[in-house]
Amino acid sequence: MNEDTITVNIKYKDVEQTFIGNLDDVWISVNRFFSQIIPSFELAQRLMLTIDLQKLIEDFKDIITVAPEGPELLISKQKISDSETLGFYLIAAYMGHKLGLLSEETVSKDELQTRLGKSSKTTSARLSELYSERLVTRDNEGNYKITTIGIKHFQEDVLPKIRAKIQT
């Protein structure tokens, strides 16, 4: 490198950029980075749906739990619909996996059927409805997991109704 070469390395969250060149070129590049890249990055972050695990745990702490045996409901299944029951089990599996308590966030249809306590046909019908609404997804082995939009739906739309229902 010659004496007129400057190197500037910028790291902002997950974005890292290095600028090398003469002072004027690097100055222009750094300014462009701050005026174009950073605002675009922040806008993109606002559009991305992410789950705040701490808030999720706080919101569901008296509804679901993760026992050593797996996801569990803390409320009576008689007070909620079959679809809500399945969603809550899948959210508990998600939380258990994120906390390192469960090896996977997916749950088999058979396990969900056992947890629901209903026939295979009923379980399949409810899972199919949740799947068509994009609230759950299925992996190659046929296991189910809650989607990010599914978590948002249950957290913001279903949970307040359930809380009102169980308090009466």
- In the 3-class helix/strand/coil scheme, how is the chain assigned residue by residue? CCCCEEEEEEEECCEEEEEEEEHHHHHHHHHHHHHHHHHHHHHHHHHCCCCCHHHHHHHHCCCEEEECCEEEECCCHHHCCHHHHHHHHHHHHHHHHHCCCCCCCCECHHHHHHHHCCCHHHHHHHHHHHHHCCCEEECCCCCEEECHHHHHHHHHHHHHHHHHHHHC
CATH number of residue 130's parent domain? 1.10.10.10
Containing domain of residue 90, as a range? Answer: 53-167
Pair 58, 43 in one domain: no
In this structure, the answer to whether residues 110 and 78 fall within a common structural domain is: yes
Same domain, 128 and 162: yes
Same domain, 58 and 19: no
pLDDT (tens, 9 = 90+) of the chain, 168 residues, equals: 566 899 999 887 778 889 999 988 888 888 788 777 777 767 666 777 788 999 999 999 999 999 888 899 999 999 899 999 999 999 999 999 999 999 999 999 999 999 999 999 999 999 999 999 999 999 999 999 999 999 999 999 999 999 888 776
Question: Residue 23 has which token pair?
Answer: 């002072």
Does one domain contain both 94 and 142? Answer: yes
